[in-house]
Each structure stands twice: as C-alpha cells, then as structure tokens.
Amino acid sequence: MHIIRDKEVESLWPICDEIRIALRDNDSEAEVIQRYKKPVFRLRRLTTGLPLPFNSDSLDLKSAAEEIKALAQEGLGLIISKQLIKAADIAVALHTSSSNQLAIKLRELVRNGSTIAIQDGFWRQTISSWLASEFPDFKTNVITFRELSDQDELQHLIFIGSPSFVAYRHFQEPDFRFARDPKSLENDFVMYGFGDPSVRINGLISDRDPLRVITSTQPMVAPNEIEDLDGESEWTSIEHSSKLQNTADTDTEVLARFIGLSGGHHVFIEDDPRTNVFVLMRDYEDKLDVSRTSVRDLRTSNFLLLRTKGASHNLISEIADELGAKKLRPSQLRYKSLLQNKIKELGGTRQVSTKLENEYELSTNNLADWAYNAARIGPGSKSNFLKLCEFLSISTEAEKIWKHLERIRALHVRAGNEAMNRLKASIRSISPTDKTLKEDGYLTRSVPGCGQIGVYRIEHIGETQLVSVYDLQILRT
C-alpha cells in the first residue's frame, strides 16, 4: 500500500464532510442538495483519482473554482459559503502547480505489463492516454474494478484507491471478491490517507518476504466510512442528471438501465427479458462479428452497437418497412392512437388496465408498451387483441387489423435477419486491433439502408430504475 500526501488535496476531506452534514441537516430536496454538493465532491474525485497535472486543461480546475464560488452566493450555498469558498481557493491553489502526487507514485510503480484498476470507466481513456504519453514503450492497460472478476491472470495490478473504495458498489453491498481472487500476485494500492496516516486493513500480507500461497481469505476492510469515500462516480452523476430532466409524466414509466458508453455517450435501455441488443464478438477466424444478446447479459467492456444517424432509431422497423410493412402500418397506428386517446380520457394506464381486467377479462402489464412503443406490434394473442378492439369500439375492424399485425410480425422477423446480415458485412471490415476502437473506444460505420451505426465500449451499467418513456430515449431492438 502506498499512502500519498498532499496538504491541499487532503484538506478537501473535512470540507466535503462539513458540506455533506450541513446540507443533510437542512432537510432539502435530494436534487437541490446534489446541486450544491456535486461540484466540491467532483473536485475531490478529480484531484485524487487522475494522474494529470493539476494545471491541465482536462482537469480545468480554474472553471471548477469559478463554479463553486458562484454557488456560494445563492440559495443553499449561503449556508455553506465558508466551506465553498475554501474549496474554490484550494482549486485555484492546485491549478498554479503541475505537481500531482498520484502521478509521481505511478511513475515509480508502472512497468511493462502493468494494469491500472479504476472505479469509474468514464476516465478510462484519459488515464490510458496519460500512460501512453508517459510510458510509450510499455504495454499497459486500464480496467474498472467491476471488470476484475472477468479478467484472466494479470502480471501486475495497480489500484487507484483504498480497498474499501475498490469494493464500493453504488446502492449495493461492497464487493470484496478482488481480495480473495486478486488476479495478480503483485498488487499495489495507491491512495490518499483519507486523513488517517495509519490506514489499518485486516488481512493484508505484511512487508516481510511475499508469500506464494494465499493463507487467509479474510477480506481487506479499511476503517473509513463508505460515505466518506464519495461513491458517486462521473457516470452515476450523469445518470442522476439525465433522469432528473423533465420527469413530469410518471404514468408511462418503464424499468430501464442507464448505460455509460465511451466518449461520454450514454443511453437508457429497457430492462426487459424481451429487450435484445447488438454487440461485437469474435468469430472462429478471429474477425469481428455481430451477436444479439439480452440487455441483462451486458457487461462493462462489451462493445454495444447503436444507431447514430440516418433512419429511425429502430433499425428493425425501418428494414421491415422496406420489405412491405410500411403499407400495413396504418392498421397498427389505428389501434395504438385509439388506445392512447383512451388512456388520456380515463386518466392513465392504470385506470385503463383496471377497466380491461374488470370488464373484458383482459389482464396486461404491457399497456403503455402497446400504446406508445412503435417497436411493439401489439398483443401476441388474437383473443386478447379482439378484447382490446372491443374496448376500443372497433370490433368490426379487428379481424383485418389482426391479419395486418401478423404480417408485420413476419416482416419484422425477416428484417431482423436482413439487419444482422447488413451489420455483419459492415462490422467485418473493422480490424479487431483497430486503434480507434481500442484507444478511443468508439467509431461509426455506415450500414446500407440503416444510416450510421456507432460501436461503443460499455464503461458503466447502472441499476434498474423507473424511467419515463417520454422524457428519455429508451433503446429497444
């Protein structure tokens, strides 16, 4: 373990504690507290988790100081103005110096074959670029803590953060699997002392000659409070901000996951067993190929394929329209528009669902999907669809509409096969060792008839949560 010290950086800890306690005791709304807490806690994350010079443009500590000072002059900021001004002054002081103790220690530790383990995949590319500039002749890698369990044996691991920080999982129990299966014989933890120069961690091997056999499975636990470690990463911060935007309509919420992608991109994907996405894989010839997988099987470091420009966001529907579904869409839109009107008329999907169940013996949890999701064709059961049409007062049209829906379903199946063929042809032109894909983590390719497809490395996968389908882009394929 390597405890690094910097008076200015470490003075941010008591300031963060004072701000957190003062805002908590004020009993304000969570999003209001977040607004005043976030800039200072983010400042601490940047100065303790990145090896960049403190005067670098990437850290932009000068702008951070200006933002914090502005908050001290308004609203809740007046309650914690003293602490905010101190934090801003620290940011200014650090900005005048390029010296970064984390960078100095990493220069001592990094060697050919080293792997840096970080909490937040948002900064993977930034740290990878720093390593490439500092050690151009070394082969190094950057992974997130969550990816440790999927790794093969590594030569040398360097963790940025304490064992408790490594084990932290947002809204989950700490994960200490890395302590029982560290993946590497040599493991270095580089961390600030969190105000405690003698960090006591049970289960660590002592400084005597290294043991070649693991003699204890006791997890490494630091005495620091998890809350003091500021578990919110850049990705969870972006996720929080994205979900708070215009969340007025709660009647059409669906379960979804926030997916953080390389390059600062992100998307919400519906967390449903029926939701499949396209990901990259390698075929038997070691060339890139495309596979369909469930959203629940996605892992960080997978490469996700998303529509970026061109046709509508739903690739399958677009190709199905090319194959003949377009002329049948009016039948699909007919019942969907009537269902939407009924939802508005009766005051929401819950009221409509209750009426359908009580008066038509039609029980469904997919009502909002049928009404608002263009990718969902409709009820899979003909008897259920006929009941729905009776409720919508279009029983005389039901048989005709059902035949059209069945035809659309068949065309969607054909479209899925066609889309896969087009994707595969485009993706196979990319080399598995493509520098842009490996370093930047994303690129785009044109797919005939489908617009542009972006290939993005997954850096973060959020927890399942309710998200409004009106306010955010929910990906379904």
Give the tens place of pLDDT for each residue, 14-65: 898 888 888 877 777 777 788 888 899 999 989 999 999 999 998 999 999 9
**Predicted pLDDT at 217:** 46
**Are residue 53 and residue 85 in the same domain, yes or no?**
yes
Nearest to 477 by CA among 290, 307, 282, 276: 276
**Are residue 210 and residue 248 in the same domain, yes or no?**
no
Task: List, for residues 358-371, the tens digit of each pLDDT value.
Answer: 999 888 877 888 88
Token pair of 431 as six digits: 């080399």
**Predicted pLDDT at 263:** 87
Phi, psi torsion values for 258, nearest 5 degrees: -85, 125
CA distance 130 to 396: 68
**Is position 126 within any domain?**
yes
Q: From residue 366, how far is each of 352, 369, 382, 398 by CA, in Å?
A: 11, 5, 15, 19
**Are residue 288 and residue 384 in the same domain, yes or no?**
no
- Across 85-99, 133-147, 323-337, 409-423, least confident range: 409-423
Q: From residue 141, how far is each of 113, 190, 266, 395, 438 by CA, in Å?
A: 8, 16, 23, 62, 11
Residue that terminates a domain, selected from 188, 213, 229:
229
**Are residue 94 and residue 154 in the same domain, yes or no?**
yes
**Is position 290 within any domain?**
yes
How many folded domains does the chain comprise? 3
Q: From residue 318, how far is each of 329, 376, 442 by CA, in Å?
A: 12, 13, 24
CA distance 113 to 157: 9
Higher pLDDT among residues 247 and 234, named by residue = 234
**Is position 422 within any domain?**
no
Q: Which residues pair with 189 in a beta bridge?
A: 159
**Are residue 262 and residue 132 in the same domain, yes or no?**
no
Question: Can you give the residue range of the structural domain that contains 137?
Answer: 2-229
Is residue 9 scored above 50 in pLDDT?
yes
Average pLDDT in the chain: 83
**Predicted pLDDT at 310:** 58
**Is position 147 within any domain?**
yes
Q: Average pLDDT for residues 139-167, to the nearest whole number?
A: 87
CA distance 361 to 111: 68
Question: How, if at all, do strands 141-144 and 114-118 pair?
Answer: parallel
**Are residue 364 and residue 392 in the same domain, yes or no?**
yes
Is residue 215 scored above 60 in pLDDT?
no
**Is position 171 within any domain?**
yes
**Is position 425 within any domain?**
no
**Predicted pLDDT at 141:** 93
CA distance 83 to 89: 10
**Are residue 350 and residue 279 in the same domain, yes or no?**
no
Split at pLDDT 50, 70, 90, the class of 216 is: very low
Residue that terminates a domain, selected from 229, 251, 278:
229
**Are residue 210 and residue 89 in the same domain, yes or no?**
yes
**Are residue 83 and residue 108 in the same domain, yes or no?**
yes
**Are residue 190 and residue 168 in the same domain, yes or no?**
yes
Residue that terminates a domain, selected from 209, 229, 249:
229
**Predicted pLDDT at 218:** 47
Q: Which residue has the tokens 């007025």?
A: 248
Q: Which residues pair with 453 in a beta bridge?
A: 307, 445
**Is position 270 within any domain?**
yes
Q: Are 259 and 458 in contact (CB under 8 A)?
A: yes
**Is position 426 within any domain?**
no
Alpha-carbon dihedral 263, 268, 274, 277, rounded to 10 degrees: -10
Is residue 300 scored above 70 in pLDDT?
yes
**Are residue 63 and residue 165 in the same domain, yes or no?**
yes
Task: List, for residues 122-139, the tens digit of each pLDDT value.
Answer: 999 999 999 999 999 999
CA distance 378 to 374: 9
**Are residue 215 and residue 143 in the same domain, yes or no?**
yes
